[in-house]
Amino acid sequence: MSSNSAYVAASATPAPALSVQEQILRRRPVQDAAPRFLQPVENGGVRLLILENISQQAVSAFRTLGFHVDHYTTAMSEKELVEKIPSYHAIGIRSKTKITSKVIAAAPKLLAIGCFCIGTNQVDLNAAAAAGIPVFNSPFSNSRSVAELVMGELVALSRQLFDRSYELRNGIWNKQSKGCWELRGKTLGIIGYGHIGSQLSVLAEAFGIRVLFYDVINIMPLGSARQVPTLTALLSEADFVTLHVPELPETTNLISTQQLKEMKKGSYLINNARGKVVDIPALVEALKSGHLAGAAIDVFPSEPGSNGAPFDDKLNPWASELRGLHNVILTPHIGGSTEEAQRMIGDEVAQALSSYLGYGSTLGAVNFPEVDLRAITAEQGTQIRICHVHRNKPGVLRQINEALSPYNVEKQYSDSKGEIAYLMADIAGVGKADVSKLQELIDATDANILTRFLA
């Protein structure tokens, strides 16, 4: 669990902003000489298809690295992609473009897929892995945005802000202090102390809030926060309960009738995690009975597919009942939707794609073994890098090392994930003719999926 390091990074004095290209070059492991950004040995440059209006900064960074980029503001249908994709080496998408097995089958040159978003379920990850294509995303770039939203919701709920604002917008002056509270001295219970939960912990303490958290793993608390051993312990002590767990079979209806009963009378529930984590009909009952004083819900079991689509009982049978309740904040899954988060997503995925295309690194890939090698430096002119994706079966390394045996292997590393394995090797003193020969030998091995030579 890297939540503590996420906090340290976020709270340290900000470093001067680096361009995406500088980040790509600087992220290579520390070494004395400058890393050499590698290009494919075979003829023809790298072509990228970038869809769905991905950040201009990322597009410029790709161009600076020498890639040809075709940039579209919209998504593409499967049919359009099947026509368009054959000439591209990488594609960047957000959540609307579906990369199906049919699209992958139509993409003989495709080397990498970048999802400039959090989720990757718009990509057939198994089909991509089987074709030797790693998929990259940016799972944690919006943690801060979610944590800040929760801070806003804490204030808004405890001051009944949305009800007062709604009344005044309808011409009703209703100044009152009954049931309105300061946050100072109250207890916040965080369920799931990962990237978001731990950021929130720090922000909440700055408000004078006492923080408790519950997590399935033991985590070093930040500041004066305290981990409690059970969910019940958290629910029975917290004035505000906020959820930051992933969607898993174990977290489905993590908060249901029993857990709501265990919460203090007059407490509040906030869910910015995933829609299925809270049993909403049970929450509606707890709000109607007055046991809970309010709730903020950003995520729902079924969410409309596009802006403007109705949020009604057809989508979720309890929708109109929930919409009619007092001191309930309902938002359309905006927890991570800020310009800062979008920019960070753009930088992170552009960096991951470039590192794979230019260095062979699969660090951060969701469907692939994560392999990286120290960079080849500018001085190591005769070294080339072999990036060999293959089926995970016995005997492959023997075959590859036999092919490499006439050369000096400077460094080599391989790893596997399920049926896919990936080997990176740097070899020295290799001429053009050797590359063609090596390519032929490795392509002929029975487990070969995709082999690239970078120089």
Residue found under tokens 């910015």 = 272
* Contact pick of 104, 135, 299, 421 for ligand NAD (by CB under 6 A): 299
Site for ligand NAD in 156-215 (CB under 6 A): 191-197, 214-215
Closer residue to ligand NAD in complex, CB, 81/329: 329
Q: Does 358 bind ligand NAD (CB under 6 A)?
A: no
How far is the first Cα of the chain from the last one, in angstroms, to the nearest whole number? 36
Q: How far is the CB of 299 from ligand NAD (least distance, A)?
A: 5
Report the residue number, 272 or 367, with the smaller CB distance to ligand NAD: 272
Binding to ligand NAD in span 118-147, by CB under 6 A:
118, 140, 142-143, 146
Stretch that binds ligand NAD, among 40-48, 109-117, 329-337, 346-354 (CB under 6 A): 329-337
Binder to ligand NAD among 269, 273, 375, 386 (CB under 6 A)?
Answer: 273
Instruction: Please give the C-alpha separations between residue 357 and each of 52, 133, 256, 354, 453, in angstroms, as whole numbers.
Output: 21, 11, 47, 5, 11
Known catalytic residue: 36? no
The residue from 108, 246, 290, 395 that contacts ligand NAD (CB under 6 A) is 246
Distance CA 356, CA 365 (A): 9
Contact flags string 330-349 toward ligand NAD, x per CB under 6 A: ---x-xx-------------
Q: Which of residues 66-125 bind ligand NAD (CB under 6 A)?
A: 118
CA–centroid distance for 319 within its chain = 29
- Closest contact distance (angstroms) between CB of 235 and ligand NAD is 12
Q: For ligand NAD, which is the closer residue by CB, 346 or 360? A: 346
Considering only 124, 163, 239, 298, the residue that binds ligand NAD (CB under 6 A) is 298
Q: What is the footprint of ligand NAD within residues 394-453 (CB under 6 A)?
A: none
CB of 283 closer than 8 Å to CB of 295: yes
* Catalytic position from the list 28, 195, 210, 274: 274
Q: Among the options 42, 167, 182, 303, which is catalytic?
A: 303
Q: Annotated catalytic, 274? A: yes
Q: Closest approach of Cβ 60 to ligand NAD, in Å?
A: 27
At residue 277's C-alpha, the angle toward residues 273 and 283, to 5°, is: 110
Q: Is residue 272 at the binding interface for ligand NAD, with CB under 6 A as the rule?
A: yes
CB 124 to ligand NAD: min, Å: 21
* Residue 322 sits in the site that holds ligand NAD (CB under 6 A): no
Residue 177 has, within 13 A of its CA and on its CB side, a CA count of 1
Residue from 68, 71, 333, 343 carrying the catalytic annotation: 333
Please give the residue ranges that form the binding site for ligand NAD (CB under 6 A).
1, 118, 140, 142-143, 146, 191-197, 214-217, 244-248, 250-251, 272-274, 298-299, 333, 335-336
Would you name the residues annotated as active-site residues?
274, 303, 333
